[in-house]
């Protein structure tokens, strides 16, 4: 029994060799800023190009991406937070009016899409790209 205990202590003492484990933290790449690319892509969407004629229901993905872009503007460009707020207002109006369920173009949902397009144009010009 004593031999087993000594052997176990020797094995355990080898595990605690005194070396401190190194923590590796991922670094952020120095690639291009994705915000201008995302904003440019959003300006090619039909919901941006023709907000008054698009079915609000078909613009749900666009609105979701636009909301995400507003958050990215706040994160990457805090100096433009007030412009992100302007972008968020018509998004909130779109969602409050349940426009994701409205098939007919125009009306308050079309107005919200138009306001989103105007705000996106402004933010994109300020971000550049």
Per residue in 56-105, pLDDT tens?
A: 999 999 999 999 999 999 999 999 999 999 999 999 999 999 999 999 99
What is the DSSP track for 20-83? PPPPP-PPPP----HHHHHHHHHTTSHHHHSTTTS-GGGGHHHHHHHHHHHHHHHHH-GGGHHH
CA-to-CA distance for 51 and 64, rounded, in angstroms?
15
Residue 95, domain member (yes or no): yes
Return phi, psi of residue 34, to 5°.
-80, -20
The structural domain count of the chain equals 1
| pLDDT band per the 50, 70, 90 thresholds, residue 128 | confident
For 108, the domain range is: 57-127
CA 16 remoteness from chain centre: 44
Residue 46, domain member (yes or no): no
Residue 32, domain member (yes or no): no
Residue 92, domain member (yes or no): yes
pTM: 0.73
Residue 11 is predicted with a pLDDT of 54
Residue 29, domain member (yes or no): no
Per residue in 15-50, pLDDT tens?
A: 555 555 555 555 554 456 889 999 999 999 999 999
Residue 7, domain member (yes or no): no
């Amino acid at each position: 029994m004593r031999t087993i205990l000594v052997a176990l202590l020797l094995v355990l003492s080898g595990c605690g060799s005194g070396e401190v484990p190194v923590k590796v933290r991922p670094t952020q790449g120095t690639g291009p800023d994705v915000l201008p690319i995302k904003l440019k892509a959003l300006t090619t969407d039909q919901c941006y190009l023709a907000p008054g004629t698009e079915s609000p229901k078909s613009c749900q993905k666009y609105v979701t991406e636009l909301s995400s872009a507003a958050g990215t503007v706040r994160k990457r460009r805090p100096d433009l937070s007030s412009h992100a707020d302007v972008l968020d207002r018509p998004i909130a109006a779109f969602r409050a009016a349940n426009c994701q369920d409205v098939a007919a173009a125009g009306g308050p949902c079309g107005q919200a899409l138009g306001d989103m397009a105007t705000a996106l144009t402004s933010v994109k010009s300020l971000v550049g790209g």
